[in-house]
Amino acid sequence: MSQPIRILFIDDEERILRSLALQFRRQYEVLTESDPHRALERLKSEPVHIIVSDQRMPQMSGAQLLAQAREIAPETLRILLTGYSDLDAAVEALNSGGIFRYLTKPWDQQEMAFTLRQAAEIAARQAQAPVTAATSEVSAPLNVLLLDEDADTLACVDDFCRAGGHRLLRARSLAEALALLNLEPVQLLISDLKLAGEDTAPLLKSLAQAHPRLLSLVVTPFCDTQALLKLINEAQIFRYLPKPIRRGLFEKGLKAAAEQASIWRAEPARVVGRVAAIPKDERESEKVGSLLGMLGRLRERLTA
């Protein structure tokens, strides 16, 4: 791309901004702002490819800032910096800000550099991709796969599919889910983190690598902050919704996911601003690798 990748760092501590600018000014065009309101004004008038915001700022939280940034410049890749303990911030940033990645403070310099490099590569591809007009596929029915035994969740998803003319697929075990995913194109996945006593997180993480256009909504009773951060970074989940479900909130998440999935399907040349981080835990990484092998036919179909 002709213009350099522009990264906007936002933090109320000037010393942190100086440190970030010093670390990354050679690779990117670095912009810094200590005032979130000024940062949002800059977004309205200047091209920015990547936003990195601290969560805890006196005037506005990072999650609130990223949600507004998404409205102003939806193609920007948004990264949130905060501590491990802030579960509410993680949920808000995911559900409202559509974050690309979540990094903890104090950040690891290598992890930060690698994350920015991934984001920069996506931004460069987005700038070079041809602009294509949306097709009639934008209103075509979707295939929705449900991995949840909860009656309330099923009722809500079933009503959503009936109202929108979407096709509901159900799997009652991970084996059934893998079989369905290898046989059917799936655009939306709604899943608890447990299915018939099995952990679904490795499957979600595998799908994020094999099929980045598949949107996953996690509906579960509770998720500790560290587990949620892994789901954001390694499974690229689209929404996190707690149980017992709040029907209005759940329906809003389903509608947003369906709209996004329809847009992506209608624009096959569009570069999707998502890439899953590889699990750091060796055992979990092995599980994901094994599941990727089982999803071989899915991957072949998608890349054919």
pLDDT one-digit tens code per residue, 33-62: 999 999 999 999 999 999 999 999 998 999
Question: Running DSSP on this structure, what letter comes out for residue 165?
Answer: T
Predicted pLDDT at 57 = 92
pLDDT one-digit tens code per residue, 214-249: 999 999 987 777 888 889 999 999 999 989 999 999
- pLDDT block averages, 10 residues each, the chain of length 304: 85 94 95 96 95 93 94 94 76 87 89 95 85 59 96 96 96 94 93 95 94 93 81 93 91 94 86 88 89 72 46
CATH number, position 254 = 3.40.50.2300
87 Cα distance to chain centroid = 16
What is d(CA 218, CA 277) in angstroms, rounded to the nearest whole number? 18
Predicted pLDDT at 1 = 45
Are the CB atoms for 180 and 169 separated by under 8 Å? yes
Are residues 165 and 253 both part of a single domain? yes
- The model's pTM is 0.89
Are residues 210 and 179 both part of a single domain? yes
In a domain? residue 75: yes
In a domain? residue 108: yes
Predicted pLDDT at 85 = 67
Q: Is 107 exposed, middle or buried (0-12, 13-18, 19+ CB in 10 A)?
A: middle
Tell me the backbone φ, ψ of residue 245, rounded to 5 degrees. Answer: -65, 145
Q: Is 181 exposed, middle or buried (0-12, 13-18, 19+ CB in 10 A)?
A: buried
What is the domain range of residue 165?
136-303
Name the domain count of the chain.
Answer: 2
